[in-house]
Amino acid sequence: MEKSPLVEKVLFKIARQWIAGDTMDDALQSARQANKNGMNAILNKLGEHMVSKPKINQTVDEYLTLVSNLRKAKVTGGLSIKPTQVGLALGTKECSKNLETIIEQALQDLAFVWIDMESSEYTSDTFAIYLSLFEKYERLGIVIQANLKRTQKDLEMLLRKGAKIRLVKGAYHESPKNAYRTRHDVDENYKKLMKRLFDDANEFAIATHDSKLIKMAINLSRKHERKFEFQMLKGIRDELKPTLVKDGFAVAEYIPYGTNWLPYSIRRLKERKRNILLLGSSFIHSHRV
């Protein structure tokens, strides 16, 4: 269903909380601010499900320029890339080739690369691409989603490979056959997966805005000496991020940018009711006189 101009306008005002802006310069400015606040920056060019070869090539070029500009701007952090924006719709070979081009450049500029996870139809292909590239490139991470029923098994496989893992709740609409549908079930699975990460993971990220899960991660970190970081969206939990940094935890801010903000923003709002409340709180706070 097409969004009315008024609805889009309202959504854009909300979306501005977590999106740096339309341009790469906007993203770099946000990234520098994140670094200034003691956090790493993870930049993502908005867009997905691309099937046009010229559009895909344009996106790859944009990421190559972004990596170069991160170094020039002395930004600490890296990129997060969706496989379907760099060719997965055309096949795993095309996607892998394009990702490798970006990773090669990132390696030269000391930037870390995360391969984002999308809906479950792409999960197996994304893992296959990641593991193939991870054999050659150490500074490469993969995302797992707590809402998917298959993730426990996937995590065990990734741990055996020494993968670098980001744990998220999951933002895509999935069938009950593939995914847990209630917040309670997703949270319980998240806890179980997080415990496994603290038990055996090599390097990982806890990506959540949920206070209970963050507290649990803090408690687990006191029992296990592990290299990990908290990752949160730009504009959400801004009151908590400085506290975590001050307490000595590594924190990274996920910073999307670009004009294709609508599908991403709607997904974020649908993800969990809690996100809407957190966003509303951040939005009101930032507009107080």
Task: Give the pLDDT confidence score for residue 285 in this predicted structure.
Answer: 47
Q: Among the options 116, 154, 187, 238, which is catalytic?
A: 116
Q: Among the options 154, 166, 238, 272, which is catalytic?
A: 166
- In the residue annotation, 166 being an active-site residue is answered as yes
CB within 8 Å of 102: residues ≥ 6 apart: 60, 63, 64, 67, 79, 81, 86, 113
> Taking the CB of residue 176, how many other CB atoms lie within 10 A of it?
8
Say how far apart CA 49 and CA 10 lie, in whole Å.
25
| Residue range 76-82: mean pLDDT, rounded | 97
User: pLDDT tens digit string along 132-155?
Assistant: 999 999 999 999 999 999 999 999
Instruction: Give the confidence band of 288 by pLDDT, cuts at 50, 70, 90.
Output: very low
Instruction: Give the confidence band of 17 by pLDDT, cuts at 50, 70, 90.
Output: confident
> Taking the CB of residue 193, how many other CB atoms lie within 10 A of it?
19
Lowest mean pLDDT: which of 12-16, 39-43, 78-82, 217-221?
Answer: 12-16
User: pLDDT tens digit string along 169-208?
Assistant: 998 889 999 999 999 999 999 999 999 999 999 899 999 9
Long-range contacts of 187-195 (CB under 8 A, 24+ apart): 187/146, 187/212, 187/213, 189/146, 189/147, 189/151, 189/152, 190/146, 191/216, 192/152, 193/144, 193/146, 193/151, 193/152, 193/155, 193/167, 194/167, 194/220, 195/220
User: pLDDT tens digit string along 248-283?
Assistant: 999 999 999 998 766 666 666 665 455 555 555 544
Matching residue, tokens 């003691």: 38
- In the residue annotation, 116 being an active-site residue is answered as yes
Say how far apart CA 209 and CA 130 lie, in whole Å.
26
Task: Give the pLDDT confidence score for residue 182 in this predicted structure.
Answer: 93
Q: Enter the tokens of residue 2.
A: 């097409």
Say whether pTM exceeds 0.95: no
Say how far apart CA 115 and CA 79 lie, in whole Å.
8
Task: Kindly state the percentage of the chain with pLDDT values over 70.
Answer: 86
Task: Kindly state the percentage of the chain with pLDDT values over 90.
Answer: 78
Task: Give the pLDDT confidence score for residue 8 in this predicted structure.
Answer: 65
CA distances from 168 to 70, 212, 288 (A): 25, 14, 31
